[in-house]
Amino acid sequence: MMSKGNYYVTTPIYYTNAKLHIGHTYTTVAADALARFKRFTGYDVKFLTGTDEHGQKIQEAAEKLGRTPQEHVDEMVKSITALWKTMDISHDVFIRTTDEKHKKGVQGIFQQLYDQGDIYKDFYEGYYCKPCESFWTQSQLEEDHGCPECGRTTEMAKEEAYFFKLSKYGDRLKKHFKEHPEICYPEARRKEMINNFLEPGLEDLCVSRTSFDWGIPVPFDKKHVIYVWFDAVCNYITALGYGEDQDKDFKKFWPANVHIVGKEIVRFHTIIWPAMLMALDLPLPEKVYGHGWILFAADKMSKSKGNVVYPEVLIERYGLDALKYFLLREFVFGQDGNYTNQTFITRLNADLSNDLGNLLSRTVAMVEKYNGGFIPQVGAMEEVDEELQQVLTSAASKVEEHMEDLQYHDALEEIWTVIGRTNKYIDETTPWVLAKDEKKKSRLDTVLRNLSESLRITAILLKPFMESTSKKIWKQLGLTEEMHWEDAKYFGKISGLIKVEKGDALFPRLDVKKEVELLEAENKKVAAAQQAAKDKEASMALGKEEQKAKGKSAEKATDKAPEESTMATIEDFAKLEFKTAKIIEAKAHPNADKLLVLQLQVGEETRQVVSGIAKDYKAEDLVGKDVILVANLKPVKLRGEISQGMILAASNEDKLVLGTLDGEIPSGTEVS
């Protein structure tokens, strides 16, 4: 197929100072669905995501953990890329701001703007807190000029810094906002930018720092590091080779078709970044979309507040497509929305299990029962068939329109109109009644055929949003050819002798009460863990203070932190549950040489545990051994096998020995 053109879509690059939650997942899932949609509808797509790894916050997060900033970001990036892999995110490029090519690109940009006079050296004036090494504005201060972070008195101070002439671009930006309103979506956010920033007039922006060193050095003045936001926004072009090799991706994909971001960073993307591009004489992104926040307990999710929902648990229990569907369908892109466990489970049951899942299982079952599993040929069409056909064949163009406006919830609603109309069609045509009358076989055939056509179209429409569900529907319908978006616009595409293939339910029905309880317990655990981390941080900060008071350096105090953190309190110990267990079955892990998959008897219960003991134990020698199980660890999947706990073992570099029991005692007995 001829390409319809190039399409460049980006997410924000996420900070590497904390684990990502469903807020970050939301942006990435939305950008991913758009990238998939554009590829599927014929565009040559570049989809960029990545990580923002410099700045004081990250340096501090690393220090707290007793790591160097580089070690810290390397660890964090591993967990972020692993999450995107679990979520089957289809990015083409993953940029890290610590990549050499990005750093060079940013330095080149900084140098150019300095050389042409758009960056100049001046003094940054503000209230300075020496112990915190931070500048504050008057409005941020507490009483008596107190530092908002530590409360100590700040002093007026001046520091040398570099500034970007943002003010120079105010008028051009205003004009651009007027002529190209797409620069800022949705409209409410555009108005906010105009009224709060552009109309009052822009001030020059301080773009260097000297109070910490985890950043890209100013190329001609190494005491300064480049401000993290100046560094970060450049990723959108350095990822395409700007400053290095501009003839390939940069030429092909810049300007971006859309930067998808959360509403709190719209100013950086619609004012600061465009002004920088103007200074560089580069075209501006076509569209910046600032979506709303997912709120939890009516508040913005934040790790420090302990009100965070992580995607892993939802994916593990309900499947990736369920989470993707919920995020894109439940929240209106552009507006804030509340996450609750109740709405999550209820929507899964109503839309996925009932509407979609039942439609597929009923259709396949009826084709099997009434026509030996073969999708029949169509007979004469009646009015009701034509009405169905009309709904089905008009859906794809409507989805295209909604996706042009990034209205994911409307696109999915449109697909559910198809599903809803088809379910109604079953009630109207009552195939089970037709099946009782031999003379109505041709009518029954037509109905079954139309139902199969509807599911064929549904599978195509769903592909950009729920790839694996779409494939499952395709397979159960017995279709093997490649899917094409345009085929969703035509009725009657199923051709030849096709045999359906009954499969598992797409989305098993959930017990709402039970699942909500389970998820709530999970939320409480997360909040407790956050609180414990905060307490630890506070006590470490106190330790640091004491060290300082004794005249020791802050660095020494940080060095000591890991030692302190290995001491467990009795409360920490009480959180773990140890139980005796008997190994009743052991076999090699299908995908990993070092692992064994064990079945354990733990009282009445059987548990599967994956253990890294294959080097030291043969599977057959383990059966019958009594071991000690850490019984309340969160289940994890290890190379595709679920592991519900961990067994204790002693190990050194050479050898590993299982911890066993000195005497007989029933399995499931508590160990304390």
**Applying CB under 6 A, which residues contact ligand ME8?**
12-15, 23-24, 26-27, 52, 232-233, 235, 261-262, 264-265, 293-294, 300-301
Q: How far is the CB of 14 from ligand ME8 (least distance, A)?
A: 4
Nearest Cα neighbor of 609 from 623, 625, 629 is 629
Cβ-closest position to ligand ME8: 23
- Our CB check for ligand ME8 shows the closer of 27 and 446 to be 27
Rounded to a whole number, what is the largest CA-CA distance in the chain? 98
> In angstroms, what is the minimal distance from the CB of 69 to ligand ME8?
15
Q: How far is the CB of 290 from ligand ME8 (least distance, A)?
A: 8
CB of 216 to ligand ME8, least distance (A): 14
Give whole-number Cα distances, 240 to 9, 101, 178, 243, 286, in Å. Answer: 12, 10, 29, 9, 16
Query: Is 207 or 261 the residue whose CB approaches ligand ME8 more closely?
Result: 261
For 245, the token pair is 């090799």
Least distance (Å) between residue 2 CB and ligand ME8: 33
Tell me how far, at minimum, the Cβ of 509 lies from ligand ME8, in Å.
29
Closest to ligand ME8 by CB, 231 or 351: 231
Rank residues 29 and 647 by Cβ distance to ligand ME8 and give the closer one: 29
User: What letter represents residue 208's amino acid?
Assistant: S
492-497 contacts at long range (C-beta below 8 A, 24 or more positions apart):
492/378, 492/453, 493/453, 493/456, 494/375, 494/449, 494/452, 494/453, 494/456, 497/374
Contacts of 610 (CB under 8 A, 6+ apart): 589, 595, 596, 597, 598, 638, 639, 641, 642, 643
What does the alpha-carbon distance between residue 308 and residue 653 come to, in Å, rounded to a whole number? 38
**Residue (of 43, 15, 11, 19) closest to 529 by Cα position:** 19
Neighbours of 16 (CB within 10 A): 27
Q: Is the peptide bond before 148 cis (omega within 30 degrees of 0)?
A: no
The phi and psi torsions of 615 (rounded to 5 degrees) equal -70, -30
- Toward ligand ME8, which CB reaches closer, 243 or 376? 243
CB of 90 to ligand ME8, least distance (A): 18
d(CA 445, CA 370): 9
Cα radius of gyration rounded to whole Å, the chain: 30
Q: Which stretch of DSSP H or E encloses residue 521?
A: helix 512-549
Tokens found for residue 406: 């990034």
Please identify, using beta-carbon distances, which residue of 25 and 429 lies nearer to ligand ME8: 25
In sequence order, what are the residues at sequence separation of 6 or more whose Cβ sits closer than 8 angstroms to the Cβ of residue 179? none
Q: How far is CA 627 from each of CA 98, 108, 497, rounded to the nearest angstrom?
A: 45, 60, 57
CB-nearer residue toward ligand ME8: 106 or 233: 233
Say whether the peptide bond before residue 274 is cis (omega within 30 degrees of 0): no
Q: What are the angstrom distances between the C-alpha of 344 and each of 109, 150, 513?
A: 45, 40, 12
Pairing relationship of beta strands 294-296 and 337-339 according to DSSP bridges: parallel
3-state secondary structure of 6: strand
List, edge to edge, every strand of the sheet that includes 208-209. Answer: 208-209, 221-226, 217-218
* Minimum CB distance to ligand ME8 smaller for 15 or for 169: 15
SS3 588: strand
Q: How far is the CB of 71 from ligand ME8 (least distance, A)?
A: 19
- Taking the complex as a whole, how short is the minimal distance between the CB of residue 259 and ligand ME8, in angstroms? 8
48 vs 488 by CB, closer to ligand ME8: 48
Which SS3 state, helix, strand or coil, does residue 106 take?
Answer: helix
Task: Quote the least distance from Cβ 337 to ligand ME8, whole Å.
Answer: 9
CB of 35 to ligand ME8, least distance (A): 15
Smallest gap from Cβ 252 to ligand ME8, in A, equals 21
The tokens 């960029």 sit on which residue? 48
Task: Tell me the two tokens of residue 502.
Answer: 């009954």
Give the shortest CB-318-to-ligand ME8 separation in angstroms: 20
Nearer to ligand ME8, 407 or 558 (CB): 407
Rounded to a whole number of angstroms, the minimum distance from the CB of residue 94 to ligand ME8 is: 14
Assigned token pair, 536: 């630890």
Q: Is 196 exposed, middle or buried, given 0-12, 13-18 or 19+ CB atoms closer than 10 A?
A: exposed
CB of 345 to ligand ME8, least distance (A): 20
Give the chain's end-to-end CA distance (angstroms, integer): 66
> What is the closest distance, in whole angstroms, from the C-beta atom of residue 147 to ligand ME8 in the complex?
23
Q: How far is CA 51 from the centre of its chain?
A: 13
Residue with smaller CB distance to ligand ME8, 177 or 331: 331
Give whichever of 47 and 425 is closer to ligand ME8, judged by the CB atom. 47
Beta-carbon count within 10 A of 304 CB: 11
**Nearest CB to ligand ME8, comparing residues 233 and 378:** 233
Q: Which is closer to ligand ME8, CB of 310 or CB of 507?
A: 310
Q: How far apart, in whole angstroms, are the C-alpha atoms of residue 593 and residue 572?
A: 34
Question: Which lies closer to ligand ME8 via its Cβ, residue 13 or residue 460?
Answer: 13
Closest separation between CB of residue 376 and ligand ME8, Å?
47
Distance CA 141, CA 133 (A): 15
**Distance between CA atoms of residues 461 and 146, nearest Å:** 58
The token duo for 441 is 């076989």
By beta-carbon proximity to ligand ME8, the closer residue of 265 and 494 is 265
Q: Choose between 280 and 512: whose C-beta lies nearer to ligand ME8.
A: 280
CB–CB of 323/315 below 8 Å? Answer: yes
